[in-house]
Structure 1
Amino acid sequence: MRIGYFTNCYPAPSHTFIRRELIALEQRGHSLVRYAIRRAAGPLVDRDDIAEEARTRYLLHQSWRAGLLCCALTLMRRPKSLMRAAWVAIHFCRLAGHAYGRHLAYLYEAILLACWCRRDGIEHLHVHFGTNPATVACLVHTLTGIPFSLTIHGPEEFDRPERLGLETKVATAAFAVTVSSYGRSQLLRWARLHDWRKIHIVPCGIEEAFGPPVATDAAEPQRLVCVGRLCEQKGHLLLLEAAQRLSHEGVDFKLVLVGEGPLRGEIERRVKELGLQNRVELTGTVSQDRVRLEIGRARALVLPSFAEGLPVVLMESMAMCRPVIATYIAGIPELVTPQTGLLVPAGDAQALAEAMRVMLDLDEEQLATMGAAARQRVLQRHDVQRSAATLEALMAAAAIRTRAADVSLLRRRFAVAGPDDKAVQEKVR
């Protein structure tokens, strides 16, 4: 099958799960074409991301001349489809508070992407994230009839489901997938009952060879690591409060923050205010090899998030035989159990500090036992090949339904045209 993959920004340091999914589908014999709205804002440092960028086509990096040509050709060849797409764009615009300029841009992007999909022979378009790329995909479907599907991750989609038109997107899509049971429950809240059958769980996946597993004695005795974008929802500022509590109690530890983001300056200021300069290290954006190195050097991963879907970095840490400390929110409790890590209430600095202390006090045997259980659990629940097989089956079923609908339409036209209309007869065959 010729499959288009589309999202807002690809590749990006936080989108390794998309790359794994793409590669797994390619290994199953499918041809994957990568599309994105824009490139990553900063420079890419991971060699796999750099290679993926060279294989990806970007809507916002095409010349206006090419875009206007696509618009003109669409207007001439598919005026009715263009009119329907314009009405769909207006529908989304009204839901979003009459943001006409933004949705006009989405319509333009959809026209350009529709031209690419037709030229590339795309049979199915899959979208990651239910935000603006899903809006564009809905418009592409209206313009071309190409079936599309979407993966909803959260939490952004669940923060403003009505403004994003999640109900319409699920209704228009061939199917929708979420990465956890929690995510499915949230999508069920906003989808019509008739469309519940379209909503499936397809976990983000990890390769069995990921890591490779790191021996527990490779970890530095008092080292913890937090991997994630430096933004409000990840809870870094609360993590610093918990670190200050441990420091005041005389606990020896080192905390490494891996990632970059808009809160970098505030986090650096807070580290100085709390006197944690010798306890906390910020690495900025690093390669995936460096991420694995930092996880391997730590006793455990800490992720004190306020809002999540189901973080892939938890899966990566567990696959490397590292237990995790996380918050009891969203899909995280579906993955992290008392045998594989510690869960604390979101927003509770005291509970977070206590969990960090417990993890730092574990002896090597306890740490190894928890790490082994973590790896076993994540590979059982998040095997990328199994996830790719599920997606493949869903896409194949969507293709069968599309072909059946096309044949039904042609047969109706045949009945109207009569048996002497040779062109219609050929299409029916």
Structure 2
Amino acid sequence: MTGRRFRGADGEHVVWLNFKDSEHPLGGGAEEYMHQVTARMATSGQRVTIVTSRPNGAARTTEIAGVTVRRMGNAYTVYLYALLWLLRRRRDIDAIVDTCNGIPFFSPLAVGRRVPVVVLIHHVHQTMFAQHFRFPLAQIGRWIERVGNRIVYGERTIAVVSPSSRTEVRRVLGLVGPVFVAANGQAPLLVPGTRRAEAPRIVCVGRLAPHKRWDLLLRAMPRVAELIPDVEVHLLGDGPCRNQLTALIAELGLGDRVTLHGRVDDDERNRMLASGWLTVCTSEVEGWGLAVTEAMSLGIPAVVLASPGLRDSVRNRSTGWVVARPAHLAGQLTSALIELEDPAAAALWARRCQAWAGRFTWDATTDRITALLAAEDARRVAVDRRAVCDLATVVDLPVRLAARIDFTRLRSVDQIDWEGYDPTDPTSVRVRILLAGFDESDATALLHRLGIDTDPATTWVWLARPADLLGWKRAAGPRAGDLRPYFADHCAEPAHSGTRTT
């Protein structure tokens, strides 16, 4: 086995495989994720190449935010072209992010074990193949995603964007490698001067694709309008279902309250979102729901179906409402809009939404992906013979104890988070650590080895729930650096003037 090659250092070459990029007409959330992370990797000094398909009229090679984009083949042949490209350049590649959008690139066939590969899965596509392909292509696609993945990737590290996606990867695909959540980031959206509409307004952003099920929203609107006559819906996006939805709007007599805007630029999208009372997502399949958290960053709560991903991005009754069945959609929309009529209630929802969305940053996502590549490289060199375990444990401790921990002794798959600094009481800051693959006994034993008191009055340890896997600031391990001086500074008692002592 060759020595370690990847540490996320300057000059190391990372290849990101994805069958679309931002210039593809069908680009969406997965492409936003890719470009946000790769741009930050390039800014940190890494050499990054995106390998993707080439839609009509697109350049073969271009540069986006310091990242080289190489386009080859169409939506089907790109996988073969990419494998040949990887095979020719395998000695110049230090790490690979292999995106599985239903069909993976099977990059290990070209680079073997000498290059760390992390498989990125936004969501499972088993139910979507029948929506896009006929027999036998749909069956072949399902087999490749389910069986082909297991054969080629084996125990390679898998990154998913939500706890729901992790469950699907295990339950539906049966993949056996370690699975870690690398949630979507969220760029803060600012729309100065925009106020919410006077009339109850629902603003939705998304492709008009079959799996988005916008027909469910439209069919609910006549019942909503019975109690809220002035309600209006604005749907931003385009796609293959536009004609069907236009016909359904006419059939339901919704032409005076539903507007299909098509694709709009970012400024117009943000302005429309900021004017809304509510956003809605009726998708059957989502890895996360980036459009939903974008709306939340503007203070707009969401009503979503309890689909994988969406039930993670929305905190039920805190940042929105998660609807168990489509039949309940009309009732929930009606009650939500009635509740949001009260400006004070709407302001409370907005504060909770913005606080939740603010926990997700693209810097944290980039740190997580880079750390997972480094962890996979460590496994490649020195095989971790412990059984793969999806358990994780949260340790919550006061900052004075965190200041004694050398976080570089933890693993790259572990994560760290802390509350914002309170200048009136620095000692109130608490630090959380997520220990992957640990149960409570393991976590307590680790704390003892680190010299940390586990007094239950000050240090709390519990098995991580799905919501606990989201919203972490940075990776532990070598990439964390020495956080002890930073936390020690937070331990200083406040001066009488309200400022920190030094």
* Alignment match, 2:253: 275
Q: 1:108 to 1:36 in 2, by over 3 A?
A: closer
Asked if structure 2 preserves the Cα contact closer than 8 Å seen for 1:225 and 1:256, the reply is: yes
Aligned with residue 126 of structure 1, among 97, 103, 106: 97
Q: 1:227 Cα deviation (Å)?
A: 1.0
Would the aligned equivalents of 1:214 and 1:321 in 2 still touch at CA under 8 Å?
no
- What is the CA RMSD across the aligned residues, in angstroms? 3.1
Structure 1 157/289 Cα, relative in aligned 2: closer, same or farther at 3 Å? Answer: farther
Whole-angstrom distance in 2 between the partners of 1:274 and 1:141: 55
Given the alignment of the two structures, is residue 305 of structure 1 paired with residue 283 of structure 2, yes or no?
yes
Q: TM-score of the superposition, structure 1-length normalised?
A: 0.72
Q: Structure 1 residue 274: deviation in Å?
A: 1.1
Partner residue in 2 for 1:135: 105
Q: 1:368 to 1:50 in 2, by over 3 A?
A: farther
Aligned residue for 1:146? Answer: 115
What is the alpha-carbon distance in structure 1 between the residues aligned to residue 99 and residue 46 of structure 2? 18
SS at match of 1:9: coil
Residue segments in structure 1 that go unaligned for 5+ positions in a row:
44-48, 62-101, 406-429
Q: Distance in 1 between matches of 2:211 and 2:246?
A: 17
Q: Using the alignment, how far apart are the partners of 1:347 and 1:54 within structure 2?
A: 42
- Deviation readout 1:182-233 (Å, 9 max, x if unpaired): 111121235668x34x2111111113xx102778844443211111111121
Cα distance between partner residues in 1 of 2:66 and 2:127 = 29
| 3-state SS of 2:326 partner | coil
Q: 1:315 aligns with which of 293, 299, 302?
A: 293
Report the CA distance between 1:388 and its aligned residue: 1.5
> Secondary structure, in 3 states, of the residue corresponding to 1:265?
helix
8 Å CA contact 1:257, 1:281 repeated in 2: yes
Query: Conserved in 2, the CA contact under 8 Å of 1:237 and 1:267?
Result: yes
1:20 is aligned, of 24, 32, 36, to 36
Number of residue pairs aligned between Structure 1 and Structure 2: 347
Query: Closer, same or farther in 2 for the Cα pair 1:288/1:113, shift >3 Å?
Result: farther
Select which of 144, 167, 170 maps to 1:185.
Answer: 167
Structure 2 Cα separation of the partners of residues 309 and 25 of structure 1:
22
CA distance in 2, matches of 1:219, 1:230: 24
- Give the match for residue 45 of structure 2: 29
Percent identity over the alignment? Answer: 22
Q: Larger relative contact order (C-alpha < 8 A, sep ≥ 6)? A: 1
* Aligned position for 2:429: none
The structural deviation recorded for 1:178 is 0.9
CA distance in 2, matches of 1:295, 1:124: 38
The answer as to whether partners of 1:323 and 1:374 remain within 8 angstroms in 2 is yes
CA distance in 2, matches of 1:117, 1:163: 24
CA-to-aligned-CA distance 1:29-61 (integer Å, 9 cap, x gap): 32221211233x799xxxxx9956994211128
Q: Does 1:202 align with 2:182?
A: yes
2:88 aligns with: 115
Q: Offset at 1:346?
A: 3.8
Ranges in structure 2 where 5+ consecutive residues have no aligned partner: 1-11, 129-140, 384-502
> C-alpha displacement at 1:116, in angstroms?
4.9
Q: Write the mapping of 1:36-115 to structure 2, written as runs, cut at 5 A.
A: 36-39=52-55, 51=64, 55-60=68-73, 106-115=79-88
1:166 has 2:149 as partner:
yes
Secondary structure, in 3 states, of the residue corresponding to 2:234?
strand
- Contact 1:109–1:136 (8 Å) recurs in 2: no
Distance 2:174 2:345 in 1: 47
How far apart are 1:393 and its partner, in Å?
A: 1.4
CA distance in 2, matches of 1:56, 1:155: 26
Q: Name the SS of the counterpart of 2:53 in structure 1.
A: strand
Distance in 2 (CA, whole Å) between partners of 1:108 and 1:27 is 28
Aligned residue identity for 2:334: R
- Secondary structure, in 3 states, of the residue corresponding to 1:135? coil
State the shift of 1:130 in Å.
4.4
Counterpart residue number, 2:362: 384
Partners of 2:108 and 2:325 lie apart in 1 by 35
Using the TM superposition, give the Cα deviation of residue 332 of structure 1 relative to its aligned residue in structure 2, in angstroms.
2.0
More helix by share: 1
CA 1:54–1:105 in 2, change beyond 3 Å: closer, same or farther? closer
How far residue 264 of structure 1 moved from its aligned partner, in angstroms, is 0.5
Secondary structure, aligned partner of 1:146: coil
Q: Within 2, Cα distance between the matches of 1:124 and 1:139? A: 14
What letter is aligned with 2:321?
A: L
Q: CA deviation at 1:289?
A: 2.4
- Deviation of the 1:248 alpha carbon: 4.3
1:355 aligns with 2:332: yes
CA distance in 2, matches of 1:186, 1:377: 24
Does the 8 Å contact 2:162/2:183 carry over to 1? yes
Distance 1:113-1:288 versus aligned 2 partners, 3 A rule: farther
- What amino acid does structure 2 have at the position aligned with 1:128? T
Supply the distance in 2 between the matched residues of 1:373 and 1:261 (Cα, whole angstroms): 32
SS at match of 1:256: strand
Indicate the SS of the match to 2:283. coil
Residue identity opposite 2:269 in structure 1: V
The 8 Å contact of residues 191 and 271 in structure 2, kept in 1 or not, is answered as no
2:280–2:302 Cα contact (<8 Å) kept:
yes
Question: Do 2:118 and 2:376's aligned partners in 1 also have CA atoms closer than 8 Å?
Answer: no
Matched, 1:367 2:359: no
Q: CA deviation at 1:402?
A: 4.4
Corresponding residue number in structure 1 for 2:18: 7
Match in the other structure for 1:93: none
What is the CA-CA distance between 1:172 and the residue it aligns to? 6.0
Shift in CA distance, 214/371, structure 1 to aligned 2, threshold 3 Å: farther
User: Does the Cα contact within 8 Å between 2:14 and 2:93 map onto a contact in 1?
Assistant: yes
The answer as to whether partners of 1:4 and 1:126 remain within 8 angstroms in 2 is yes
1:355-405 per-residue CA deviation (whole Å, 9 max, x = no partner) reads 22223222111111111101111222x222222112111212333444569
For residue 285 of structure 2, give the secondary structure of its aligned residue in structure 1: coil
